[in-house]
């Protein structure tokens, strides 16, 4: 499942979003606090300002009273007294306001009380001044005293008012300073935090768009591979299905419908729809295998038949597996193969095999007939001839004697033929036990087997390269050597001592077209070169055919089986044998044996 | 004289072979008494009969009707009073399978029927003069098949 891309960006995105949200929350809480502090400070400012105004009002009301009094004292006109009379109310109003404003500040409250006392004294001094300036009660000295006292009182009031103003101002400055310290986040930091949040959001956006891009590519790939899958299912005659065990939903591939003889998606498959197609003989197998796949999580190859809607019987092979996906749901995946063609081919092959086995059995019984039944009458002919004594022969005519000799020769030849035929068929039918053998030893055995003939013909055998050790059927290779050397000895030139050279070399199969198609790379090429009479090269293939003879049997007795046996033996060893010759000069027999 | 004669029994369905066998024994110098049975069934009946005097050597053909030589061999070797009987397989076949099977079943020697009367005489001479005790104790696959020098 390597090809599934990893989309782990959801975690990545989550982290980015959380960070961005935290930054924004932080920024907004700072802004909120900032705002609140601003509000507080403006309230405070307002408060100071109000106290300031109210105090000024107080002063101006007293001054109004002072001015009015002075005007009256100079002009004695009552009109000038009006501001003086109103000033008391004004002073009271201001006082109430100030009392309210300073309610939370005990120090200011105390100051205010002092001012209050000073103002009362000031009014008392006003009254006294009015009293001693009146013509009826005029007293210059007292008036001067009170006027001067009023002046000092006024200064004291002013002083106190200034003091109060100063206290307010200091308090204001202190508070403002505190706020300034509290809102330590400067605008640059806020902006950079905001920018960081923005960058995070941008990163998230980029990641999303990249994933989308990748998703698009994988989607395309998925589309292509599902198309390929559908195509290969159709060509390969197989189909797939999925069964979600949790939701009980079954999906067939398009070809599954086709293999069942329907158009794709022409019905909605369910648990029982497939079993309905299965041949009644095999329903139990399929039911059991569905049980098995759920229990064992795997379905070994199951073979069964199904019946198509047109009553055609098809042979299926199925396998499946239980998968648990990322979300933990159990999904059965299955593949069905339509193996009808294979099955029919197999049946044909089986029939051929049976035929072959039958013919092999016939061959074996022929073997028995040849070895026993055919030999028996022959043996009797020979025995009866051997019973004709010399005395019997003496009374026979010359031609009768001749005939008896001919019967004897023919019987002998018949025996050789039967023996050779038996040897040939045994080369084919007996057990083929391959044993690692030293071919040099086998060659020595062959030489000693032929010792009499070699001696008789004064033959000379020369081995120019050592033979290898190979996995062979020892007695067959020995037979091969006997036949090839025997052949060379037999067809030697008259009056010339037979000279046979045996050579061996390692070759690669691709250098020789004869052995190119063999599944082995390396071969041993063993050559038997003689100086015999040779043969016409046009017969170089024919000489290996059973009963094919190039010479009359009177010149060279033989059955035409020896080289056919050689070919058979070499074929048993997955090798190859070829012959070549130049008449009058000699022949070369080449044996290729795989390593 | 008759008492000391070597008692030979041949089980063979082939009339000609019985004739060759009889003639060959007549020409052999040793005193012998040759009897014949014609198939496997007759052989087993003969051997199982308590009145029968058991032969010194049984020559057993393999290819016989009703009961083959191999079946007879197995039966004889299973029968207590017969299992020490000296058995010479006397057959046309020289197939490795037949030789191997009869060796395993406990035959004492394997003779391939020769195609020459003189050779037959030689073989018979060889077999009846064989020291069976010595031959049997040293019997192996190589000397089981009788070969004439």
Closest Cα of chain A to B52: distance in Å?
31
Task: Tell me, yes or no, if B68 comes closer than 8 A to chain A by beta carbon.
Answer: no
Residue A273 CB partners (closer than 8 Å, separation 6+): A250, A267
Contacting residues of B for A430, CB less than 8 Å apart: 96
Q: Of the candidates A371, A376, A382, which has its C-beta nearest B95's C-beta? A: A371
Query: For chain A, first and last CA: distance in Å?
Result: 43
- C-beta of residue B2 within 8 angstroms of C-beta of residue B34: no
Closest Cα of chain B to A403: distance in Å?
18
Task: Tell me, yes or no, if A495 comes closer than 8 A to chain B by beta carbon.
Answer: no
Interface probe for A, chosen from B117, B122, B123, B124 (most Cβ of A below 10 Å), is: B117
Domain boundaries, chain A: 9-187, 237-338, 431-594
Task: Tell me, yes or no, if B121 comes closer than 8 A to chain A by beta carbon.
Answer: no
pLDDT digit string, tens, across residues A149-184: 888 988 998 898 888 888 888 888 887 787 777 655
Task: Compute the distance between CA of residue A470 and CA of residue A480 in angstroms, rounded to an integer.
Answer: 15
Beta strand pairing call for B32-37 and B6-11? parallel
Task: Compute the distance between CA of residue A344 and CA of residue A449 in angstroms, rounded to an integer.
Answer: 52
Q: Which pLDDT score, from 0 to 100, does residue A2 have?
A: 41
Q: Which pLDDT score, from 0 to 100, does residue B98 have?
A: 85
Token pair listed for B98? 């037949």
| pTM to 2 decimal places | 0.52
Task: Compute the distance between CA of residue A363 and CA of residue A425 in angstroms, rounded to an integer.
Answer: 8
Confidence label for A529 from pLDDT (cuts 50, 70 and 90): very high
Interchain pair B117, A387: CB under 8 A: yes
A353 pLDDT higher than 90: yes
Token pair listed for B14? 């082939």
DSSP string, B72-87: HHHHHHHSTTTTT-EE
Task: Tell me, yes or no, if B99 comes closer than 8 A to chain A by beta carbon.
Answer: no
SS3 per-residue string spanning A161-188: HHHHHHHHHHHHHHHHHHHHHHCCCCHH
Q: Which pLDDT score, from 0 to 100, does residue A484 have?
A: 92
Q: Which pLDDT score, from 0 to 100, does residue A175 have?
A: 79
Contacting residues of B for A383, CB less than 8 Å apart: 16, 20, 114-117, 120
Please give the ipTM for the structure prediction: 0.83
Closest Cα of chain B to A535: distance in Å?
36
The CATH code of the domain at A9-187 is: 1.20.1440.210
Task: Compute the distance between CA of residue A310 and CA of residue A262 in angstroms, rounded to an integer.
Answer: 10
Closest Cα of chain A to B23: distance in Å?
10
User: Which segment, A37-41, A554-558, A561-565, is predicted with the most confidence on average?
Assistant: A561-565
Task: Tell me, yes or no, if A137 comes closer than 8 A to chain B by beta carbon.
Answer: no
Interchain pair A380, B16: CB under 8 A: yes
Task: Compute the distance between CA of residue A537 and CA of residue A17 in angstroms, rounded to an integer.
Answer: 92
Interface probe for A, chosen from B12, B92, B93, B119 (most Cβ of A below 10 Å), is: B92
Give the start-end residues of each E strand in A429-557. Answer: 435-438, 460-463, 469-472, 499-508, 522-530
User: Per CATH, which fold does A431-594 belong to?
Assistant: Heat Shock Protein 90 (3.30.565)
User: Per CATH, which fold does A237-338 belong to?
Assistant: Beta-Lactamase (3.30.450)
Beta strand pairing call for A238-244 and A249-252? antiparallel
Q: What is the CB-side half-sphere exposure of residue B46 using CA atoms within 13 A?
A: 17
CATH architecture assigned to B2-144: 3-Layer(aba) Sandwich (3.40)
Contacting residues of A for B113, CB less than 8 Å apart: 379
Q: Which pLDDT score, from 0 to 100, does residue A554 have?
A: 67
Interchain pair A372, B63: CB under 8 A: yes
Task: Tell me, yes or no, if B101 comes closer than 8 A to chain A by beta carbon.
Answer: no
Closest chain A residue to the Cα of B94, Cα to Cα: A371
- C-beta of residue B38 within 8 angstroms of C-beta of residue B10: no
> Of A484, A514, A534, whose CA–CA distance to A594 is shortest?
A514
Confidence label for A74 from pLDDT (cuts 50, 70 and 90): confident
Task: Tell me, yes or no, if A407 comes closer than 8 A to chain B by beta carbon.
Answer: no
- Report the percentage of chain B scoring pLDDT > 90: 28
> In chain A, which among 355-384 make CB contacts under 8 A with chain B?
368, 371-372, 375-376, 378-380, 382-384
Interchain pair A379, B113: CB under 8 A: yes
Closest Cα of chain A to B64: distance in Å?
12
Task: Compute the distance between CA of residue B79 and CA of residue B61 in angstroms, rounded to an integer.
Answer: 19
> A277 φ, ψ to 5°?
-85, -20
- Rounded mean pLDDT of B121-147? 80
A7 pLDDT higher than 70: no
Cα Rg for chain A, rounded, in angstroms?
Answer: 65
Q: What angle do CA A374, A378, A384 make, to 5 degrees?
A: 150
A3 pLDDT higher than 50: no
Task: Tell me, yes or no, if A67 comes closer than 8 A to chain B by beta carbon.
Answer: no
- C-beta of residue A185 within 8 angstroms of C-beta of residue A27: no
Q: Which pLDDT score, from 0 to 100, does residue B2 have?
A: 45
Token pair listed for A266? 């022409």
pLDDT digit string, tens, across residues B70-89: 999 999 999 888 888 899 99
pLDDT digit string, tens, across residues A282-335: 888 888 887 787 777 788 888 999 998 899 999 999 888 888 877 778 888 889
């Amino acid at each position: 499942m390597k090809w599934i891309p990893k989309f782990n960006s959801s975690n990545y995105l989550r982290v980015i979003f959380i960070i961005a949200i935290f930054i924004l929350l932080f920024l907004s809480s700072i802004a909120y606090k900032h705002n609140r502090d601003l509000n507080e400070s403006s309230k405070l400012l307002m408060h100071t300002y109000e106290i300031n105004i109210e105090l000024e009002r107080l002063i101006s009301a007293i001054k109004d009273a002072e001015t009015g009094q002075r005007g009256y004292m100079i002009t004695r006109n009552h009109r000038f007294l009006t501001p003086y009379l109103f000033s008391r109310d004004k002073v009271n109003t201001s006082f109430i306001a100030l009392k309210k404003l300073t309610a939370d500040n005990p120090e200011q409250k105390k100051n205010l009380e002092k001012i209050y006392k000073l103002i009362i004294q000031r009014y008392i001094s006003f009254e006294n001044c009015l009293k001693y300036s009146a013509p009826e009660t005029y007293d210059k000295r007292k008036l001067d005293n009170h006027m001067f006292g009023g002046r000092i009182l006024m200064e004291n009031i002013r002083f106190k008012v200034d003091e109060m103003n100063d206290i307010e101002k200091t308090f204001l400055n202190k508070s403002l300073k505190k706020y300034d310290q509290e809102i330590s986040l400067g605008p640059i930091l806020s902006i950079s935090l905001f920018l960081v949040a923005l960058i995070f959001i941008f990163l998230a956006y980029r990641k999303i768009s990249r994933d989308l891009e990748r998703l698009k590519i994988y989607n395309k790939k998925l589309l292509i591979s599902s198309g390929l899958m559908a195509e290969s299912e159709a060509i390969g005659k197989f189909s797939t299905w999925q069964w979600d065990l949790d939701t009980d939903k079954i999906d067939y591939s398009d070809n599954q419908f086709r293999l069942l003889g329907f158009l794709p998606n022409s019905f909605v498959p369910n648990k029982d729809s497939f079993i309905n197609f299965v041949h009644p003989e095999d329903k139990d197998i399929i039911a059991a295998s569905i049980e098995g796949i759920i229990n064992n999580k795997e379905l070994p190859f199951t073979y069964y038949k199904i019946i198509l809607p047109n009553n055609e019987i098809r042979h299926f092979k199925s396998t499946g597996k239980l998968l648990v996906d990322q979300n933990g749901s159990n999904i059965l995946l299955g593949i069905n193969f339509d193996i009808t063609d294979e099955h029919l081919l197999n049946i044909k092959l089986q029939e051929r095999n049976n035929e072959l086995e039958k013919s092999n059995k016939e061959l074996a019984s022929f073997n028995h007939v040849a070895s026993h039944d055919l030999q028996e009458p022959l043996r009797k002919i020979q025995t009866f001839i051997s019973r004709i004594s010399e005395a019997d022969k003496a009374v026979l005519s010359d031609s009768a004697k001749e005939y008896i000799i001919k019967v004897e020769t023919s019987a002998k030849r018949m025996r050789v033929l039967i023996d050779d035929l038996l040897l040939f068929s045994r080369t084919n039918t007996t057990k083929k036990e391959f044993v690692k053998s030293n071919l040099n030893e086998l060659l020595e055995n062959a030489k000693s087997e032929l010792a009499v003939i070699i001696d008789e013909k004064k033959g000379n055998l020369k081995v120019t390269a050592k033979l290898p050790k190979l996995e062979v059927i020892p007695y067959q290779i020995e037979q091969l050597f006997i036949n090839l050397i025997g052949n060379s000895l037999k067809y030697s030139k008259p009056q010339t001592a037979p000279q046979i050279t045996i050579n061996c070399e390692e070759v690669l199969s691709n250098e020789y077209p004869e052995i190119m198609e063999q599944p082995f790379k390396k071969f041993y090429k063993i050559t038997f070169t003689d100086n015999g009479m040779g043969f016409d090269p046009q017969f170089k293939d024919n000489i290996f055919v059973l009963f094919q003879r190039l010479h009359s049997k009177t010149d060279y007795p033989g059955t035409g089986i020896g080289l056919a046996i050689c070919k058979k033996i070499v074929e048993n060893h997955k090798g190859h044998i070829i012959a070549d010759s130049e008449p009058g000069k000699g022949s070369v027999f080449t044996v290729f044996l795989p390593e | 004289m008759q008492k000391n004669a070597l008692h030979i029994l041949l089980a063979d369905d082939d009339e000609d072979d019985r004739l060759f066998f009889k003639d060959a024994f007549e020409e052999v110098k040793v005193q012998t008494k040759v009897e014949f049975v014609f198939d496997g069934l007759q052989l087993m009946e003969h051997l199982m009969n308590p009145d029968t005097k058991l032969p010194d050597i049984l020559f057993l053909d393999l290819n016989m009707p009703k009961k083959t030589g191999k079946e007879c061999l197995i039966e004889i070797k299973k029968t207590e009073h017969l299992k020490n009987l000296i058995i010479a397989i006397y057959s046309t076949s020289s197939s490795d399978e037949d030789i191997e099977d009869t060796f395993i079943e406990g035959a004492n020697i394997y003779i391939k029927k020769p195609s020459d009367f003189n050779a037959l005489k030689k073989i018979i001479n060889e077999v009846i003069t064989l020291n069976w005790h010595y031959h049997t104790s040293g019997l192996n696959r190589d000397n089981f098949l009788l070969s004439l020098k």
